[in-house]
Every structure is written in C-alpha cells, then in structure tokens.
Amino acid sequence: MAKTPDGFVSLKSLKQGPSSPRDTIALLRRIYFTTKKETIEHDFAHAIELLKSLETEEERERATAYMHGLSELRKEWRARKNVQSRKGHRSK
C-alpha cells in the first residue's frame, strides 16, 4: 500500500472525527508538528473543524496552544510568500 503524504487527512476521518476529546487534541498536536508550508492551509482548516467538535470550554482551552501555533505558522508563511511574490514581480 502506498504511503500517504505528510499532512494528508482522509475524508473518512473528517466525517467520523476522533473518538474522544483526548484523541481530538492528540490529532491537533500531530497536525501542528507535521504541518508544512505546502499543507498549512489544509491543516489549518482541518484543525478548525476539529476544534469545533470539542464540546467543553476546558477541552477547547487545552487545544488553544496548537491552534495558536498553527495560526502563527500560517501567518509567517503567508508573509514570506507575499514578500517573495513582490520581489519576483518587481524584477519582471
């Protein structure tokens, strides 16, 4: 069986979701540590859906660090991409 690319999330897992809040937070952690520039948009959207599935404020608070980290990565990578695209646009 072929290895799935890093950051890949099957449609089945999105529909069914993790079995418990603990599993959800573990999945958020895994997404945080495996995300890349190429997958950040997808990973961020997936993380938001997972966050929505958490029922209590306490569970959501435990997920906050990973969500904040993903948000910062996304912001940083977008800024770099915009700077690079502006530099490339000027040289043409």
User: Per residue of the chain (92 residues), what is the pLDDT tens digit?
Assistant: 455 555 566 655 556 666 799 999 999 999 999 999 999 999 999 999 999 999 999 999 999 999 999 999 999 998 877 777 777 665 55
Cα→Cα distances 41→28, 51, 74, 90, Å: 14, 15, 7, 26
Write down the pLDDT at residue 82: 73
Q: What is the DSSP string of the chain?
A: -PPPPTT---HHHHHH--SSHHHHHHHHHHHHHH--TTTHHHHHHHHHHHHHH--SHHHHHHHHHHHHHHHHHHHHHHHHHHHHHHHHHHT-
